[in-house]
Amino acid sequence: MKVTVIGTGYVGLVTGACMAEWGHDVMCLDLDAAKIARLQRGEVPIYEPGLRELIMRNQPAGRLRFTTDVAASVEHGDIQFIAVGTPPDEDGSADLRHVLEAARQIACHMDSFKLVVNKSTVPVGTAQRVSTLLEEELGRRAVRCGFAVVSNPEFLKEGSAVADFLQPDRVIIGCGSGTADRRAREWMTQLYAPLERTSSQLLWMETRSAELTKYAANAMLATRISLMNEYANLAEALGADIEEVRRGLGSDPRIGAHFLKAGIGYGGSCFPKDVRALIRMSEQAHVSHHVLDAVEAVNSRQKFKLVEKLQKRFGASLSGRTVAIWGLAFKPETDDMREAPSRCIVGELLRLGAIVRVFDPVAMPAARRAFAQDLAAYPRRLANIHWASSALDAARGSDALLLVTEWVEFSHIDPVQLAKTLSMPLVLDGRNAWEPSLLASAGIEHRGIGRIPAGETLRTRPMPLRRFS
Ligand SMILES: NC(=O)C1=CN([C@@H]2O[C@H](COP(=O)(O)OP(=O)(O)OC[C@H]3O[C@@H](n4cnc5c(N)ncnc54)[C@H](O)[C@@H]3O)[C@@H](O)[C@H]2O)C=CC1
Ligand SMILES: O=C(O)[C@H]1O[C@H](OP(=O)(O)OP(=O)(O)OC[C@H]2O[C@@H](n3ccc(=O)[nH]c3=O)[C@H](O)[C@@H]2O)[C@H](O)[C@@H](O)[C@@H]1O
């Protein structure tokens, strides 16, 4: 099928490349000329495992093209995917500027039936809004050309985006019930036909339900993480080990094992913004949102957990201390720094006077841009970041090591060598990536999130006592 994808970010580029891999004829449009020029040269502007291979295979075969030419892109695709950003507005609601602009571009250039598929994460009612906009912009052409708008939210995760797209658990499609919508159903079924179990994987529903499902899913996952982080803090206070609790919880099939990792809070371009946007949607609908408020509050606090632990050890001021940071991206296998916990942690350490030695296997260039932006008003603090050339280089001479992003390569580093490299053998493990006993055997003190340090048991650990009268 002839497909146009508007926006070549994480979602648009993966959608385009995967659709081409399925044999569709895909043209990707972006207004960012530099990005398109790189893609046309065969360079991939983001780090996403497997994406380069897909592009390298499908671009030379002519199934995947990149352009900045709006008219050509509208003419190309019978199906027009909108996959542009929906960043948070000042009040937390989703800013629909780019989505509406993309719809306007389609209306401006279309002269035959188009199926407009919205992949961006958008508030409930946006498909309807896009429909109305198309009607208004098309004027008399609306009847001659015809169009349908469906909602097809994306559930891929960064770091495994290609695999998630090619083998999704399910594909949500929100669609109306008019004549044009029947054609939309047929085309969407054909589009996703390469999936192994198309008929059972496609979940059809009303557009509003599809739009809400996307936010509800992200908020549900964020809720699990915040709840686990609260349990971790409780485990720490009561002398239990959150990793054992996780094993116990996750083995109940009603709960399931995924998204129960305690740590230093969720980051990334979606959970934080989507939880906030759902709160805003609830406010506008005059519906209470106590759970979502709590999810956000717990997450904001959790990002500072490692700094709090450091202060407990070294005192309120960290002036004169050198702290190593392993991992800067918001999660492993990506270079995405959007709302990465590292930004709060590094910013706070610098504010408290520490010198920070940072390393990330992939996200160093993106991190340089992010910190330059965050610390634009504090050039002296920015100068206290040392950009290390390797994980061990970051650890060199540091008073403590903070594990912020759990890249697999960090777990392969020899603890004995690490102990020798640090000036004080203290590791604060923000992702519970190490077994405490492994580091303890190398003489390193390991403090996780909600974990019992090696050598301490319920009996040896001082329990908080409370008097009852
Ligand atoms: N990043 C992720 O993992 C996921 C993101 N989403 C949602 O997908 C949407 C896109 O997210 P990302 O890909 O991360 O965004 P992004 O910010 O990485 O990329 C958006 C791209 O759209 C381009 N663009 C903006 N307006 C345009 C226009 N009028 N015409 C052509 N190109 C235009 C921008 O130049 C940019 O390259 C958002 O709504 C997001 O919430 C959904 C699932 C996963
Ligand atoms: O809408 C989106 O953009 C996407 O948001 C998330 O995907 P993503 O943000 O790429 O990455 P996740 O793996 O979900 O991780 C998000 C954050 O939660 C943290 N996390 C994740 C899982 C966990 O158990 N604990 C935990 O703290 C991660 O470290 C990371 O900071 C969702 O998982 C995707 O389904 C969704 O499509």
- The whole-number average pLDDT for the span 15-25 is 98
The whole-model pTM stands at: 0.95
pLDDT tens-place string over residues 171-188: 999 999 888 899 999 999
Q: Which ligand is nearest to the CA of 258?
A: 2
Query: Mean pLDDT of all residues in the chain?
Result: 95
Confidence of residue 198 (pLDDT cuts 50, 70, 90): confident
Does the pLDDT value for residue 385 go beyond 50?
Answer: yes
From 175, 205, 235, the end of a domain falls on 205
Any atom of ligand 1 within 6 Å of the Cβ of 270? yes
Task: Tell me the pLDDT tens digit for each residue of 69-85.
Answer: 999 999 999 999 999 99
Q: What percent of the chain has pLDDT over 70?
A: 97
Active-site residues: which are they? 270
Query: Of the bound ligands, which one is closest to the alpha carbon of residue 96?
Result: 1
pLDDT of 175: 96
- CA atoms within 13 Å, Cβ hemisphere of 50: 15
Confidence of residue 462 (pLDDT cuts 50, 70, 90): low
Long-range pairs, 367-371, Cβ under 8 A, ≥24? 367/328, 367/329, 367/337, 367/342, 369/337, 370/337, 370/340, 370/343, 371/343, 371/346
CATH code: domain of residue 146: 3.40.50.720
Judged against a pLDDT cut of 50, whether residue 89 lies above it is answered with yes
Residue 43 phi, psi dihedral angles, 5° rounding: -95, 140
How far, in Å, from the CA of 210 to the mean position of ligand 2?
19
What pLDDT is stored for residue 196 in this prediction?
A: 82
Do residue 307 and residue 201 come from a single domain? no
Pocket test for ligand 2, best of 212, 271, 338 (most atoms within 8 A of CB): 271
Torsions phi, psi of 352, nearest 5?
-85, 5
Q: Contact at 8 Å (CB) between 323 and 355? A: yes
Last residue of a domain, one of 177, 205, 233: 205
Task: Examine the domain organization and report whether 50 and 169 are in the same domain.
Answer: yes
CB-defined site of ligand 2, < 6 Å: 121, 154-158, 218, 221, 225, 259-261, 263, 266-271, 330-331
Asked whether residue 316 is assigned to any structural domain, the reply reads: yes
In tens, the pLDDT along 314-325 reads: 999 999 999 999
CA of 152 to the centre of ligand 1 (A): 14
The letter for the amino acid at 30 is: D
Q: Write down the pLDDT at residue 457.
A: 63
User: Same domain for 16 and 165?
Assistant: yes
Convert the pLDDT of each residue in 302-311 to its tens digit: 999 999 999 9
Q: What is the pLDDT of residue 317?
A: 92
Number of Cβ within 10 Å of residue 159's Cβ equals: 20
Give the distance (Å) from ligand 1 centre to CA of residue 239: 44
- Domain membership flag for residue 151: yes
Q: Is the pLDDT of residue 418 over 70?
A: yes
What pLDDT, in 10s, does the model give residues 35-64?
Answer: 999 999 999 999 999 999 999 999 999 999
On whether both 201 and 307 belong to a single domain, the answer is: no
Q: How far is the CA of 82 from the centre of ligand 1 (A)?
A: 9
Q: Do 35 and 168 fall into the same domain?
A: yes
Residues 195, 319, single domain; the answer is no
Shared-domain flag, residues 190 and 334: no
Would the CB of 73 count as within 6 Å of ligand 1? no
Does a structural domain hold residue 269? no
Residue 140: partners with Cβ closer than 8 Å, 6 or more residues away: none
Query: 339: domain range?
Result: 303-447
Q: Which of 75, 83, 65 is nearest to 122 (CA)?
A: 83
Q: Which atom of ligand 1 is nearest to the CA of 101?
A: 29
% of the chain with per-residue pLDDT over 90: 94
Domain identity same for 191 and 333: no
Q: Is 14 helix (H, G, I), strand (E, B) or coil?
A: helix
Tell me whether residue 465 is in a domain.
no
Mean pLDDT score, 407-425? 97
Ligand 2 centroid to residue 305 C-alpha, Å: 19
Other Cβ atoms within 10 Å of 236 Cβ, number = 20
Total number of domains in the chain: 2
Write the pLDDT tens digit of every residue in 449-459. Answer: 999 888 776 55
Cβ–ligand 1 distance for 214 under 6 Å, the answer no
Rounded distance, CA 460 to CA 453, Å?
Answer: 11
Average pLDDT estimate for 419-442: 96
Q: Is residue 160 part of a domain?
A: yes
Q: How confident is the model at residue 93 (pLDDT cuts 50, 70, 90)?
A: very high
- C-beta of 156 in contact with ligand 1 (< 6 A): yes
Q: Is the pLDDT of residue 463 over 90?
A: no
Q: Which of the four pLDDT bands, split at 50, 70 and 90, describes residue 469?
A: very low
In a domain, 347, yes or no: yes
The pLDDT, as a whole number, for residue 459 is 56
Please check the confidence at residue 467 and state whether its pLDDT lies above 60: no
Please give the distance, rounded to the nearest whole angstrom, from the Cα atom of residue 158 to the centre of ligand 1: 13
CB 80 less than 6 A from any atom of ligand 1: no
Write down which residue in 205, 221, 245 finishes a domain.
205
pLDDT tens by residue, 220-267 = 999 999 999 999 999 999 999 999 999 999 999 999 999 999 999 999
Tell me if 282 is assigned to some domain.
no
Let me know if residue 237 belongs to a domain: no
Ligand nearest to the CA of 85: 1
ipTM score for this prediction: 0.98
Q: Using CA positions, which residue lies closest to atom 22 of ligand 2?
A: 259
Q: Which of the four pLDDT bands, split at 50, 70 and 90, describes residue 367?
A: very high
Q: How far apart are CA 135 and CA 178, in angstroms?
A: 15
The bridge status of strand 64-67 relative to strand 355-359 is unpaired
Nearest residue (CA) to ligand 1, atom 9: 120
SS3 189: helix
pLDDT of residue 178: 86
The pair of structure tokens assigned to 373 is 């932006």
